[in-house]
Amino acid sequence: MNDLLDTFAMLAAAMLDDPLLTLANAVAWLDPLWETSDDDVYDEGDGVGLALCITRSAFPDIYAGAVERIRSGASEKELDSFICGEISRRGIPLDNLEFLGYGIPLTAAGVELSDPDLYAARSDLLPLLELFGIRPEPGHYNVEVPDCAYTAGRMIADSLVKQDDERLQQVGWVLAWLFSCSGNTLIDFDDESMAEIPPLSWDENDLAFAIELIEEANGIMGDVTAGLTLLEANPSLFAALETNVQRTYKAIAKMKGKNDELRIRLEWTVTLAGSDGAAIADSELLQLRCDAA
């Protein structure tokens, strides 16, 4: 046994005396996947192996930290927690390493207005959506959404988002979320729709785009929450919204069957609770191209 240990020590010393072998030893120790190809596929369930392969190219610092922990004897659970936590801190929420193999995980925040489950989970939306004629019926498997609801909702959302007052913009984002017109895929798509979109890969460009998309979506949903609170606390604003919905619906009805441009003036002159008492915003003339059916 001593001869074996002596032989090992001799070989180790000889290797360290050779600069090339010393470098090779450092590479093998610090970068165990140095020979791994991007096309290599890990066995199902090997979450750590897959995570190391992905982080090596996408997050080299996370990869280095994971390798360091492996050398220190960290358990698979500890590695899972470390890698998920670090990737989440980079702007990509991640709960489990197994999700890495499906591309960059993206969580949809969009809603489907015809789905009755929405109203069971978010009863707070009922008064607002009732303004647009959307009234869920108990026991029905589908909620009827008037044909003009999306047209009106998107017009009004666009008007509000363009207002100078940030609070009115927040109400606009509420409607942009409900009527899928925010321009952000995570806000405009629900889980079912997102499942039909090819996932983003872990390459540099897709990663940067995903982080930007998630940051923007988080900001919009923050505005949505603030906008709903604002509507609940300001009956005058809710009333102004109701008036503009009715005005828009009437204008759309008059244009039915006509190949013409809809012109409608929306009024947002209201006083908000907590403001200085002065009326905010002004009227705005909107135009929409209406093509004959």
The closest alpha carbon to 86, from 107, 49, 60, 108, belongs to 60
Joined together, the tokens standing for residue 56 give: 């090596």
Measure the CA–CA gap between 193 and 108, rounded to whole angstroms.
9
* Average pLDDT value over all residues in the chain: 84
Q: Specify whether the CB–CB gap between 238 and 245 falls below 8 A.
A: no
Question: Is the per-residue pLDDT at 257 higher than 70?
Answer: no
pLDDT in the model for residue 277: 41
Question: Is the per-residue pLDDT at 289 higher than 50?
Answer: no
Where residue 278 falls among pLDDT bands split at 50, 70, 90? very low
pLDDT in the model for residue 274: 59
The closest alpha carbon to 90, from 203, 218, 217, 212, belongs to 212
Better-scored residue on pLDDT, 137 or 216? 216
- In this prediction the pTM is 0.81
E strand or H helix at 267: strand 260-267
Where residue 292 falls among pLDDT bands split at 50, 70, 90? very low
pLDDT in tens, 126-159: 999 999 999 998 877 899 999 899 999 999 999 9
Average of pLDDT values for 114-126?
Answer: 94
Where residue 60 falls among pLDDT bands split at 50, 70, 90? very high
Out of 23-32, 162-171, 246-255, least confident range: 23-32
- Rg of the Cα atoms in the chain: 28
pLDDT in the model for residue 270: 81
